[in-house]
């Protein structure tokens, strides 16, 4: 086990993070919850629920200059991990510290439907921490990137889903964060918008100290990242060089797609056996060097 202190060059420290939540289930899915619990739910007219562990004991340290890709199947916990790092979701256990405020670039930002697109741009920029002066400077570029024409002055509730996604993305890229989190942000819009957004994202990546990238395409991780984390059912399978991790994950996914479950199991077991465990030790820092906790619970 490698014990790592939070050093000066570190930007994000994730310590034993666990996320779980309850979700509705049919009777078969909740059959292991116990007879008394099932009878009580039936008496109260409540739907059966099961506990889903989205993340289980995740620990790692990210450092300046790293571009870290997250790979794994749907439901593996990639997006949940980004949301925890961004401070948008509280872990049930563990904590995350960051040297500055991470910015999550995605298409799910909440906007005000009764306000115009332009008004939402201003509010969004201010919400991300830009000053009024910085917001005024950023607005023309944000509006140009969204390419909504005169619709930018109409209420958001009149937008199509595609128009709303483009505006959300454009607003999210207004900041130039030192810690950048990208969650499949480039999968929306037409070809022309994707080209503009890719150029914008490349500029953001160059300016950021640490980049986290979630992508379903392992090849993208292999080509653009220096390091990769492979998640499976909320657990960390492997943490290492992007090329090696992406290649192993692609072999695993290919085996599953071909129905070779035994081969897939062997690939993932081998990866887990070779992973070096990381114990993150977070000491009480001096005020001037303190990292910012991201919705951490004691």
Domain at 186, CATH number: 3.40.50.300
* Pairing verdict, β 67-71 and 227-232: parallel
Q: pLDDT tens digits for 193-206?
A: 777 877 877 787 77
Q: How far does Cα 47 stand from its chain's mean position?
A: 30
Task: Tell whether 190 is covered by a domain.
Answer: yes
Task: Tell whether 255 is covered by a domain.
Answer: yes
pLDDT for 29: 52
Contact between 152 and 116 under an 8 Å Cβ cutoff? The reply is yes
pLDDT for 108: 55
pLDDT for 292: 57
Compare 105 and 187 and report the one with higher pLDDT.
Answer: 105
Least Cα distance to 227 among 67, 59, 102, 13 occurs for 67
Residue 292 to residue 31: CA distance in whole angstroms: 42
Task: Tell whether 12 is covered by a domain.
Answer: yes
The CA-based angle 66-138-136, given to 5 degrees, is: 145
**How many domains does one find in the chain?**
1
pLDDT for 58: 95
**Order of strands, sheet of 103-105, starting from the edge strand that comes earlier in the sequence:** 103-105, 179-183, 210-214, 67-71, 227-232, 235-241
Q: pLDDT tens digits for 142-173?
A: 999 998 999 999 999 999 988 888 888 888 88
Name the CA dihedral angle for 103, 66, 79, 184, rounded to a multiple of 10 degrees. 80
**What range defines the domain where residue 275 resides?**
2-18+54-102+177-293
Which of the 8 DSSP states describes residue 281? Answer: E
- 67-81, 171-185, 227-241: the lowest-pLDDT one: 171-185
Residue 31 to residue 38: CA distance in whole angstroms: 8
List the structure tokens of 64: 């300046």
Least Cα distance to 6 among 115, 99, 109 occurs for 99
pLDDT at 287 over 80: no
**Taking each helix axis from N to C terminus, what angle separates 132-146 and 191-207, rounded to the nearest 10 degrees?**
150
Q: If you search the block for the tokens 């007219």, which residue do you land on? A: 45
Separation in Å, CA 20 to CA 15, 41, 80, 84: 16, 21, 10, 12
Residue 32 to residue 50: CA distance in whole angstroms: 9
Average model confidence (pLDDT) for the chain? 82
Task: Tell whether 48 is covered by a domain.
Answer: no
Q: pLDDT tens digits for 89-148?
A: 999 999 999 988 888 876 555 689 999 999 999 998 888 788 999 999 999 999 999 989
Compare 278 and 167 and report the one with higher pLDDT.
Answer: 167
pLDDT band at 266 (very low <50, low <70, confident <90, very high): very high
Contact between 37 and 46 under an 8 Å Cβ cutoff? The reply is no
Q: How far does Cα 185 stand from its chain's mean position?
A: 10
Q: If you search the block for the tokens 């116990």, which residue do you land on? A: 34
Task: Tell whether 220 is covered by a domain.
Answer: yes
Residue 198 to residue 200: CA distance in whole angstroms: 5
pLDDT band at 1 (very low <50, low <70, confident <90, very high): very low
What is the DSSP secondary-structure string of 166-195? HHHHHHHTTS--SEEEEESTTSSS-HHHHH
Task: Tell whether 184 is covered by a domain.
Answer: yes
Residue 168 to residue 170: CA distance in whole angstroms: 6
Strand partners of residue 144: none
pLDDT for 4: 43
Task: Tell whether 121 is covered by a domain.
Answer: no
pLDDT at 291 over 80: no
3-class DSSP assignment, residue 114: coil
């Amino acid at each position: 086990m490698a014990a790592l202190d939070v050093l000066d060059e570190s930007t994000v420290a994730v310590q034993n993070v666990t996320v779980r939540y309850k979700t509705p289930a049919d009777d078969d899915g909740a059959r292991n919850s116990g007879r008394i619990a099932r009878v009580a739910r039936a008496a109260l007219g409540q739907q059966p629920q099961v506990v889903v562990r989205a993340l289980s004991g995740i620990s790692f340290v990210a450092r300046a200059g790293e571009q870290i890709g997250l790979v794994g199947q749907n439901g593996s916990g990639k997006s949940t991990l980004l949301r925890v790092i961004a401070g948008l979701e509280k872990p049930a256990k563990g904590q995350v510290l960051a040297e500055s405020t991470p910015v999550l670039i995605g298409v799910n930002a909440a906007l005000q439907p009764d306000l115009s697109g332009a008004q939402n741009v201003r509010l969004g920029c201010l919400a991300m921490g830009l000053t009024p002066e910085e917001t005024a400077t950023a607005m023309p570029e944000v509006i140009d990137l969204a390419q909504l024409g005169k619709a930018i002055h109409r209420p958001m509730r009149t937008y199509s889903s595609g128009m709303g996604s483009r505006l959300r993305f454009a607003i999210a890229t207004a900041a130039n964060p030192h810690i950048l989190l990208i969650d499949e942000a480039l999968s929306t819009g037409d070809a022309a918008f994707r080209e503009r957004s890719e150029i914008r994202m490349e500029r953001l990546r160059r300016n950021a100290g640490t980049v986290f990238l979630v992508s379903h395409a392992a090849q993208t991780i292999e080509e653009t990242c220096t390091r990769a984390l492979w998640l499976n059912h909320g657990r960390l399978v492997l943490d290492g060089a992007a090329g090696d991790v992406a290649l192993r994950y692609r072999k695993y996914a290919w085996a599953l797609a071909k129905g070779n479950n035994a081969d897939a199991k062997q690939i993932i077991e081998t990866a887990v056996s070779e992973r070096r465990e990381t114990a993150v030790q977070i000491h009480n820092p001096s005020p001037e060097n303190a990292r910012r906790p991201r919705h951490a619970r004691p």
